[in-house]
Chains A and B, each alone.
Chain A
Amino acid sequence: MVILYLICGLFLGWSLGANDAANIFGTAVGSRMVKFKTAAITSSLFVLMGSILGGSGTTETLNELGKVTELKDAAIISFSAASIVLGMTWLKLPVSTSQAIIGGIIGWNVFNGVKTNPEILTKIISTWIFSPVLSGITAIICYLVFKNLIVKIKLHLLLRDQIIRKSLIFIGALGAYSLGANNIANVMGIFIHSSGLNDLLLFNTYTIPVSFQLYCLGGLAISAGIITYSKPVMLTVGKNLLKLSPEHALIVVFSHSVVLLLFSSVKLSMFLSSIGLPQIPLVPVSSTQAIIGAILGLGLFKSSSSLKFRKLGEIALSWVLAPLLTLLFCYLLFAIFR
């Protein structure tokens, strides 16, 4: 039964891998700058590393919003989030796994009459606005630096092409790492206190904590999503909002990675606190929102006429719909199965 419940979380991980890895490598693969095989291997490896090495920060915030202790509850929340993600993806609307899972947790809080911590909720919602804005600003700064660099260095077109290819893989790896570190909480965060699993003792020497086991499982699920289903998504991504050149893709993915790392790095958060600056909240932010924020920033800076504003409206709508629909669906599921 534990496995069956965990499958709900893994299913969410799988869909996250299929959709969000496309955000990272979509343009590179779509424009044939990077082979799908290279993209799939790199992203699945680094997403796993990010999940295992840097996933703890955002998980804590998610648990502060709602500490789910029952495995069945966690499975229902995961299932409702995964269903909404799948449904909205089917409707070709960009959807955030982070928003869906948070909607699900709030739905669980509402059903159980548990008061949602307004401070944490505000912190999370503010990052939904702040992360795309920050991503857009980062993209504009990167664009200006990159443009000046290209003019100054005067690399041969073919060398530039090669360097961009290698950079797309490198930045893609960074993007996959930050995706794993920031978004693993969405997949496995709610199972930390509810899985019923115990710490494993390896060779009577090494203790493998529950969180590590779950991060490994979640990371593998995301990797499976990347390998099995991200190719068609990768081949169509990037054409919806603004057609990206490989150079622009590099800037967009880099900005996305910076934002995701900022919101998941415990060390950075502690460092900022140590020098008296406000801490960056460790919140699972939406990879899709970060990517869209970067594309939007770049598009508005270069020429707003090339942006598809109708699509932009659909995206804004989906950002409101995703948490609300998951909240309602999760509430409904609890009402049926409880």
Chain B
Amino acid sequence: MFKTTKKIIKDIDNYLSHVNSSSVIFKKGMIDFLSENDAEFKEQLKEMAKTEHFADALKREIENTLYSQSLLPESRSDVLRLIERLDELIDTAKEILVNFDIEKPYIPGEFHHKFFELSDVACRAVEVCVEATKVYFHNPSDIKETLRKIYLLEKEADNISNQLKIEVFNNNELNLSQKMHIRYFTARTDLLADTAESVADLLSISSIKLIV
């Protein structure tokens, strides 16, 4: 029984590594797209697809083991929901990069800095989510501080996103369709931080149940 437990712990750790990797790939992908390094950007897309594939396989393995071995009967549903919510982080990061690849939005250089900043903050929120998940599994009573970091990062991402939108719509050189296109991608990038916030919300409730 302990062998299965150790294996599933390893699987969860691996899964969290993939979530972390997805945020690193996402950040690199954004830099490559905005720097117009097409070959490298395509490489990041492939990497992201591979990461998502491995993460999905691990997710299924974790879900099957939790059910088949009747592990965590009291908090199984919370853990499964958490894994699903973390999966949304990978999916969102992948979807944003894929949309950049398909739609190739025109983003003038003056907005690049804000886009880098936004993607950096969103990625940091994802990384802190992984950290918070580890705290949830090991010491749920200490999770509040880590969750606070996620909420702060999400707020920061919202601020950057709003500033970016204001700057875009105040720009006289772009036409409305270009402005709306940039606004869409700003919102999509910000969505990564929002998804991180929803993971934090779930962790906040689930951890209360684990405190003895």
Contact = CB atoms under 8 A, between A and B. Distances in A.
A51 B174 CA distance: 89
A154 B139 contact: yes
A210 B9 CA distance: 54
Contacts of A157: 72, 75, 79, 136-138, 140, 210
Nearest to A155: B138
Nearest to B13: A156
B74 A245 contact: yes
Given A31-B73, A151-B141, A246-B74, A158 B9 contact: yes
B8 interface: yes
B70 interface: yes
A156 B138 contact: yes
Contact of B72 (A147, A161, A248): A161
Contacts of B136: 157
A162 B140 CA distance: 17
B9 A156 contact: yes
A192 B82 CA distance: 60
B212 A147 contact: yes
A162 B6 CA distance: 10
A247 interface: yes
B1 A162 contact: yes
Contacts of A308: none
A32 B138 contact: no
| Interface size bracket, B side | 20 to 34
A247 B139 CA distance: 15
B159 interface: no
A162 B5 contact: yes
Interface string A136-160: 0000000100110011001111110
Contacts of B12: 158
A146 B1 CA distance: 23
Interface of B is mostly: helix
Interface residues of A, number: 21
Contacts of B139: 151, 154
Contacts of B71: 158, 161-162
A245 B72 CA distance: 12
A150 B136 CA distance: 13
Given A146-B212, A150-B212, A162-B5, A156 B73 contact: no
Interface string B38-65: 0000000000000000000000000000
A33 B75 CA distance: 11
A33 B5 contact: no
Contacts of B8: 158
Contacts of A165: 1
B74 A158 contact: no
Contacts of B74: 31, 33, 245-246
B135 to A, nearest CB: 9
B1 A32 contact: no
Contacts of B72: 157-158, 161
A159 B6 CA distance: 8
Contacts of A161: 5, 71-72
25 contacts: A32-B73, A33-B73, A147-B212, A151-B141, A154-B139, A155-B138, A156-B9, A156-B137, A157-B72, A157-B75, A157-B79, A157-B137, A157-B138, A157-B210, A158-B5, A158-B12, A158-B71, A158-B72, A158-B137, A159-B2, A159-B9, A161-B5, A162-B71, A245-B74, A246-B74
